[in-house]
Amino acid sequence: MTTPSHFSPDHPIPAKQRLFGARDLFALWFSLGIGLMVLQVGALLAPGLGLAQGLLAIFMGTAVGVLLLAAVGVTGSDTGLSAMATLRLTLGGHGARLPALCNLLQLIGWGSFELIVMRDAASLLGARAFGDDSVWTSPLLWTLCFGALATLLAVSGPLAFVRKVLRKWGIWLLLGACLWLTWNLYAKVDLAALWARPGDGSLSLALGFDIAIAMPLSWLPLIADYSRFGQRASRVFGGTALGFFIGNCWLMSLGVAYTLAFAPSGEVNALLLALAGAGLGIPLLLILLDESENAFADIHSAAVSTGMLVPVKVEHLAFAIGALCTLIACLAPLAQYQNFLLLIGSVFAPLFGVVLMDHFVIRRRQPPTVVKGVHWGAVLAWGVGVAAYHLLASQAPELGATLPALLLAGVVHGILSVSRGRGTARA
């Protein structure tokens, strides 16, 4: 029998199978808002902005980002469709194929990066605890272990993972880890002196905001894969926004503070070693294990995106993609591929500006008549947003590009739809 977590990406989840309440979604997005990469972003912000401005950028960027993320989540709960299937409502059946392919490529890449981040951190901590010659420093061993764990979670599906793992005990371990790190910071660091110390000015507040908002917005192409299991739109919005905001702000802020206190260079390995040397190996280990949940989301959603392109069961695709990510993490040099991934990722913020305008303003959350072709007005608005993103990123990086591109794409789509009339805009 097919489990609810493995329904076809092309078909809505039946109402009786939508089991996620606000608590489930809070647990999921609190977990996904935490991870080693979040600490790393905090380390990136710390030298240039200092503690005061760094926390301001984190708070503002995350607050705006989670509102947009939760709003896109509502599109999944309204339709019961996967993230890429909802794009068919805005772009048309053929128009949604390109973002589905882009999403597949970026998720395979980011899934591999997650495994590499976990592997390198585990090897570093293993060397610290057991010596450089220990078996616990083997990159291959850790890659295979984390790859197997993430693949197992992805094959089990979001319902089993959230309700049997996260809600029962996973979220409590993460809360304990964050509280431990927070208590240790207050006990060992003069926060008043840290607060008074300015950044070196190498990063503007606007650019820090753009980096912070990119964290929640990076989940835009995935969120409906999980929110479609939500019971009500209000619970989807509230659980998602609150969970991600608390988790992401909390850990990224800790990343800023710990970097300034113990690793002012902003180098993430120096930060990890400093934390391990301060007796924080256990909370770091819990956060390291939590990183596998991010890889789970990448692998599962890559499988769902692939299910839009080929008629294969999601759980089979998840197993194959998990194995592929593990292989890439073992063998491939990904330094240059990261720029390609960032390029692909830049297309999704403007795209979901179009989706939000279409779903909430133009259609007012009502289902459209889906056509197999392309909604060219929506595609044009998307293209304008992508062009604006890269123009701002190259000519005025200090202003930030993500939010202006998203807003511009949505406004252009609204103007084009009004000029054509709502009835003919779908022709």
Beta bridge partners of 50: 198
Rounded to the nearest 5°, which phi and psi values hold at 396? -140, 60
Specify the residue for token string 């772009």.
91
Tokens for 191?
Answer: 């926060």
Query: What pLDDT score does 16 carry?
Result: 81
Which residue segments constitute the domains of the chain, with CATH numbers given?
18-342 (1.10.4160.10), 346-427 (no CATH)
Burial degree of 200 (CB within 10 A; 0-12, 13-18, 19+): exposed
Sign, CA torsion 343/205/66/381? negative
CB-side exposure of 404: number of CA atoms within 13 Å? 17
Q: How many CB atoms lie within 10 A of CB 55?
A: 20
Three-state DSSP at 312 gives: coil
- How confident is the chain (427 residues) per 10-residue block, as mean pLDDT? 53 83 94 89 91 96 96 94 90 88 89 89 85 86 94 89 84 91 92 91 88 90 93 94 97 94 76 77 85 91 87 90 94 60 76 95 80 87 94 83 92 89 45
Q: How many CB atoms lie within 10 A of CB 349?
A: 27
Burial degree of 311 (CB within 10 A; 0-12, 13-18, 19+): exposed
For 255-297, the DSSP string reads HHHHHHHH-TT--HHHHHHHHHHTT-HHHHHHHHHHHHHHHHH
Beta bridge partners of 198: 50
Query: Looking at this protein, which amino acid is placed at residue 351?
Result: L
Query: What pLDDT score does 266 carry?
Result: 64
Strands (E), 290-411: none
Specify the residue for token string 């002012």.
264
